[in-house]
Amino acid sequence: MSIKNLPGAPMGRPSASVRSEILPRALDRWNPEVRAADKDEDRTISIYDAIGYDPWTGEGVTAKRVAGALRSLGKGPVTVHLNSPGGDMFEGLAIYNLLREHEGEVNVKVLGLAASAGSVIAMAGDTVQIARSGFLMIHNAWVVAAGNRNDLREIAAWLEPFDAAMADIYSARTGLESKAVAKLLDSESWIGGSAAVEQGFADDLLPSDQVGKGHGGASASAVRRIEAGLRASGMPKSEAMRLISEIKAGAGDPAGSGEGDPTGRVDPGSLSETAALAASLISNQS
C-alpha cells in the first residue's frame, strides 16, 4: 500500500506534568541484541532503542535524529530496521509523520519487537515485513502524570484524540473496523509475526522466514493486493475498508467484524472465494 493513503498523526504534547513512558511489560520482553547484519546497512535507518530522548543516559531515538538521517539519505527508497520497546508516544507519532511524508519508498523491517510507539512507526512503511518470531504490541497511550483530580481529568480528555489517531492509523493499514481496533488497544495486544501478516499489520514475513510458509501467508498477501486494487479503482476508502472487513469476517476472522477474539486466524479456503469476488469487483470498476 502507499503511505500516501495513511492518515497523518497529531503533533504536540501536554504540559511538563505529563510524560509518555515505556510500558514496563514491553521493556521486560525487549531483546536489544536483535539487530540486522552489517551488510544490510545501505540506505537504512536503524531504530534499536527506546523512542524519545532519555536525559539520564543520553540515548533514545528522536524525531530530530530520524529527520537528520532522512535528509542525509535524500530522496529515494529507505529501509527502517526496527527493534524497540516503545517509549515517548508523541515522539513516535512525529517519526511516523516523517516517514509517511518521505519522498521515496519506505520499507520497514520489524526484526524483533515493535511495541507501543514503535508499532506506530512501523505503520509508516509502504511495505512492512516482520520476523516470524517478532511481535507488534499496541495499546492506548500510557503516560505518567501529576496533578489534582481536575488536572488528571483534563489530561485524560487531552489524550483521547491521540488514542483515536493511533486507531485510525492501525485501521487504515489493516482494514479492520474501528471496533476491532479499539478492542486491540484496550486489551494491550501482543501480535506475533504470522498473525501480524494475517491481520494486515504487516505485508509479509522477513525473507529469511518465508521458506516453508503455508497458504495463510499467501492469503494475507492476496488481501493486501485486493485492498490496493480497490483503492486504485476509485472506490471510496470507507467502502474499500468495509469490503475488506467483510472478506475477513466471512473467512472466519472475528477481528474483521469487530466481534469475538481479535486474534482469530483466517481460513485460506473461505478467503480465496471472497478474494475472487473482490477481484471481480475491481475488474468491473476499472
Query: Domain residues of the chain, as ranges?
Result: 3-211, 214-286
Rg (CA), the chain: 19
User: How far apart, in Å, are the Cα atoms of 229 and each of 72, 157, 219, 222?
Assistant: 34, 38, 15, 10
In the block, cell 477481484 appears at: 279
pLDDT score for 271: 45
Quick one: cell of 227? 485492498
| pLDDT for the residue numbered 213 | 42
- pLDDT computed for residue 238 by the predictor: 62
Specify the fold of 3-211: 2-enoyl-CoA Hydratase; Chain A, domain 1 (3.90.226)
> In the prediction, which pLDDT does 264 show?
42
Burial of 135 (0-12, 13-18, 19+ CB in 10 A): buried
Give pLDDT, residue 204: 94
CA distance 238 to 84: 32
pTM of the model: 0.68
What is residue 253's predicted lDDT score, i.e. its pLDDT?
Answer: 45
CA atoms within 13 A on the CB side of 32: 7
Instruction: Please give the pLDDT value at position 84.
Output: 95
pLDDT of residue 98: 95
pLDDT beneath 70: ranges in the chain: 1-4, 9-21, 37-41, 209-229, 231-232, 234, 236-238, 240-242, 244-286
| pLDDT value, residue 219 | 46
* Terminal CA-CA length for the chain: 18
| Helix (H), strand (E) at residue 15 | none
